[in-house]
């Protein structure tokens, strides 16, 4: 029997359910962003513009590897949501056990490979010579902590799959405050530089993962596994990999475009990289509501597909898109009127001209990105709805669309328009992805309808 902390999203008003689930998830994402946000502020103000650029220069490769890990964990939790919606608790536990073993294997392989190739990747990306050492110190710790990152994202994914979006938030709040304290401790009195900032984040994420594990052990009887649940079974492994790997590859393929773009921006110099870093951190923070809506739609659609209630998918998607568009307008106005003040938080230097240039360029990038958030709303909500429906493979093609767009901007626009050209990478990528995802949703819906008509009991 389901525990009291679970939430059934197959009954009730879709808009109310989606917003009720998304709001606590949003709080979790905001606090998760605090990890990187605080890192960047403290690095920029205490260690200078070069250190800020060093952290920022690792952003695309961080997205490439860590995005894959997060995507895989999100995909691994989708069969759990579907089995919960179908009330198949035995199958649910087998999916949990099999996905946990697979996640451990993937984490170990990725950690070894990325740690060994870390410096070579930075050199290939033409990371400026004056920041490459700090960039290496920062990203190496991140790669070594891949098992920690997967621990939290996998366990929180299980918890959300059962309808509980609040618990992961509580643990992220705790670890976020811990991260702030460790940042200051490692960077100011201990003088550990950017290495200390990355180490603080890794330790904080470890705490949040351990707290999720303890919570599952104490509160979720549904997730108490037997020995047989841990044994890899080809039937379950196939479904898990079919959902998890495409989601991970979608992030990574998208990130390849970001890596190419970053490689084109790096030759513009440390100031351009610092400008992108500061505005990118703010943009990532402000897109959290759209990310929360997307993740919510994965759970919502997963549970409803498991229950065979396809008619609820369109209603939920429309509610999510409408909510995202309202937020997009508010976010753009905030960036337009207050963007320069936000960028200034990250910059501390005695060179007034340098500071003014970083603020000007960072604000330009921020305003352009937020002007196109309606396109990003569609990307997130439609993509995650499709993934929750069980068609994670389409996420790869959406990722390919974004990769091509970012690469084209980097190769064609940056050499001509410089920094301004790079500012349009996100909007062009979102436009390309939407052009694929919207028709794909209707195709997936029709296919599921045919399946359910042939087999009324989808479970």
- Distance (Å, whole) CA 71 – CA 391: 14
The full DSSP string for 406-446 is HHHIIIIIHHHHTHHHHTTHHHHHHHHHHHHHHHHHHHHHH
Residue pair 321/14 in contact (Cβ under 8 Å)? The answer is no
- Distance (Å, whole) CA 208 – CA 160: 15
CB neighbour list of residue 144: distance below 8 Å, 6 or more residues apart: 111, 115, 202
Closest listed residue to residue 434, CA positions, set 381, 363, 368? 381
- Distance (Å, whole) CA 163 – CA 167: 10
Cα torsion angle, 141, 60, 381, 438, sign: negative
- Each of the 459 residues of the chain gets a pLDDT tens digit; together they read 344 456 778 888 888 889 888 887 787 677 667 666 666 778 877 887 788 778 877 877 887 888 889 889 988 988 888 888 788 888 999 999 999 999 999 999 999 999 999 899 888 878 888 888 989 999 999 999 999 999 999 999 898 888 887 888 888 888 888 888 998 899 888 988 888 888 998 999 899 999 999 999 988 888 888 888 999 999 999 999 988 888 788 777 767 777 777 777 878 887 888 888 788 878 888 988 998 899 899 889 988 888 888 889 999 999 999 999 999 999 999 999 998 888 887 776 667 788 888 889 989 999 999 999 999 999 999 998 998 888 877 777 887 888 888 889 988 998 899 899 999 998 999 999 999 999 999 999 999 888 877 654 444
Residue pair 197/42 in contact (Cβ under 8 Å)? The answer is yes
pTM beyond 0.75, yes or no: no
Both structure tokens of 335: 């960036």
Cα torsion angle, 106, 107, 113, 118, sign: positive
Q: What is the pLDDT of residues 111-162, one digit of tens each?
A: 999 999 989 988 887 888 888 898 999 999 999 999 999 999 999 989 888 8
Q: What is the pLDDT of residues 410-428, one digit of tens each?
A: 889 988 998 999 999 989 9
Q: What is the dihedral of CA 53, 56, 58, 59, to 10 degrees?
A: -170
End-to-end Cα distance, the chain: 17
Residue pair 197/138 in contact (Cβ under 8 Å)? The answer is yes
Q: At what angle do helices 288-306 and 14-42 cross, to 10 degrees?
A: 140
Rounded to a whole number of angstroms, the CA Rg of the chain reads: 21
Residue pair 20/323 in contact (Cβ under 8 Å)? The answer is no
Q: Where are the domains of the chain?
A: 14-453
CB neighbour list of residue 280: distance below 8 Å, 6 or more residues apart: 56, 59, 365
The full DSSP string for 12-72 is S-HHHHHHHHHHHHHHHHHHHHHHHHHHHHHIIIII-HHHHHHHHHTHHHHHHHHHHHHHH
């Amino acid at each position: 029997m389901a525990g009291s902390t679970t939430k059934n999203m197959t009954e009730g008003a879709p808009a109310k359910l989606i917003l009720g689930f998304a709001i606590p998830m949003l709080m979790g994402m905001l606090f998760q962003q605090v990890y990187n946000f605080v890192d960047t502020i403290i690095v920029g103000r205490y260690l200078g513009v070069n250190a800020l650029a060093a952290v920022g220069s690792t952003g695309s490769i961080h997205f490439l590897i860590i995005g894959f890990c997060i995507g895989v964990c999100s995909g691994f939790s989708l069969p759990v949501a579907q089995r919960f919606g179908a009330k198949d608790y035995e199958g649910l536990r087998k999916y949990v056990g099999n996905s946990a073993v697979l996640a451990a294997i993937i984490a170990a392989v990725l950690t070894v490979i990325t740690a060994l190739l870390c410096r070579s990747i930075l050199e290939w990306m033409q990371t400026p010579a004056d920041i490459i050492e700090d960039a290496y110190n920062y990203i190496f710790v991140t790669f070594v902590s891949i098992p920690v990152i997967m621990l939290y994202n996998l366990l929180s994914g299980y918890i959300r799959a059962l309808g509980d979006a609040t618990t992961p938030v509580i643990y992220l709040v705790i670890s976020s405050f811990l991260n702030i304290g460790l940042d200051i401790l490692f960077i100011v009195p201990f003088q550990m530089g950017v290495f200390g900032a990355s180490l603080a984040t890794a330790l904080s994420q470890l705490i949040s993962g351990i707290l999720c594990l303890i919570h599952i052990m104490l509160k979720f009887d549904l997730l108490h596994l037997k020995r047989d649940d841990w044994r890899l079974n080809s039937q379950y492994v196939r479904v898990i990999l079919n959902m998890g790997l495409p989601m991970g590859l979608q992030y990574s393929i998208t990130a390849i475009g970001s890596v190419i773009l970053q490689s084109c921006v790096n030759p513009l110099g440390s100031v351009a990289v610092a400008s992108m870093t500061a505005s990118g951190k703010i943009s990532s923070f402000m897109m959290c509501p759209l990310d929360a809506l997307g993740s919510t739609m994965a759970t919502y659609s997963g549970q409803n597909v498991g229950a065979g209630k396809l008619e609820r998918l369109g209603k939920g998607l429309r509610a999510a898109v409408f909510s995202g568009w309202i937020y997009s307008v508010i976010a753009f106005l905030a960036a337009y009127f207050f963007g320069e003040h936000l960028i200034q938080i990250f910059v501390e230097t005695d060179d007034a001209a340098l500071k003014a240039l970083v603020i000007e360029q960072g604000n330009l990038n921020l305003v352009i990105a937020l002007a196109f958030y309606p396109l990003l709303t569609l990307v997130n909500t439609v993509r995650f709805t499709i993934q929750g429906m069980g068609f994670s493979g389409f996420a790869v093609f959406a990722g390919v669309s974004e990769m091509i767009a970012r690469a084209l901007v980097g190769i064609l626009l940056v050499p001509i328009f410089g920094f301004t050209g790079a500012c349009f990478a996100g909007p062009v990528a979102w436009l390309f992805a939407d052009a694929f995802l919207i028709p794909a949703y209707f195709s997936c819906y029709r296919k599921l309808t045919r399946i359910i008509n042939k087999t009324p009991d989808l479970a």
